[in-house]
Copies of this chain bind each other. A is one copy, B any other.
Amino acid sequence: MPRLARKPSVAVRAAPLRPPAQSAENFRRSRRDRAVETAQDYVEAIADLTGALGEARVVDLARRLGVTHVTVNRTVARLQRAGYVNTQPYQAIFLSAAGRKLAEECKRRHETVVAFLRSLGISEKVAELDAEGIEHHVSPETLAAFERLLKKP
């Protein structure tokens, strides 16, 4: 069985390749973002439900997030361990101070992203859809740029 050399003496194509360190850092941040996305989605949903209904119940969260109540239950328990929410068995779920703060930030960012996409001519529906995924990866610098452009069209 013929074997390929570890590194061909002559590179097939001389494409410039950024040093892996930077690249790896970007992927790591992207993964880290992913890990906090859930928390953000939940606190945002809890804030909305609390605003609209006076409290956030497990079933309502499940419906809203499109998962079963079991998933909500387990995640809420984790969020409580992390200090974002307060709840007791068979009771509604309320945000802690930290949770409210996080929810505020998320809501503002979400609305900015949606408004920015809308300003580019994206439809309401798609803007909401894309924002849901995009918002978690928008750095402060990029968010600031969005806000700046929304003010000066």
Q: What is A's interface to B at a CB cutoff of 8 Å?
A: 3-4, 6-8, 11-17, 20, 22-30, 33-34, 41, 45, 48-49, 51-55, 57, 60, 63-67, 90-92, 117, 120-123, 126-130, 132-134, 136-139, 141-142, 145-146, 149
A66 to B12, CA, bound (A): 25
A137 and B61 CA atoms in complex are apart in Å by 23
Once the chains bind, are A17 and B137 in contact (CB under 8 Å)? Answer: no
Residues B30 and A133 in contact, CB atoms below 8 Å apart: yes
Across-interface contacts of A139 in B (CB, < 8 A)? 126, 129-130
Whether A145 contacts B121 by the Cβ 8 Å rule is yes
Q: Which of these, B27, B29, B120, contacts A145 with CB under 8 Å?
A: B120
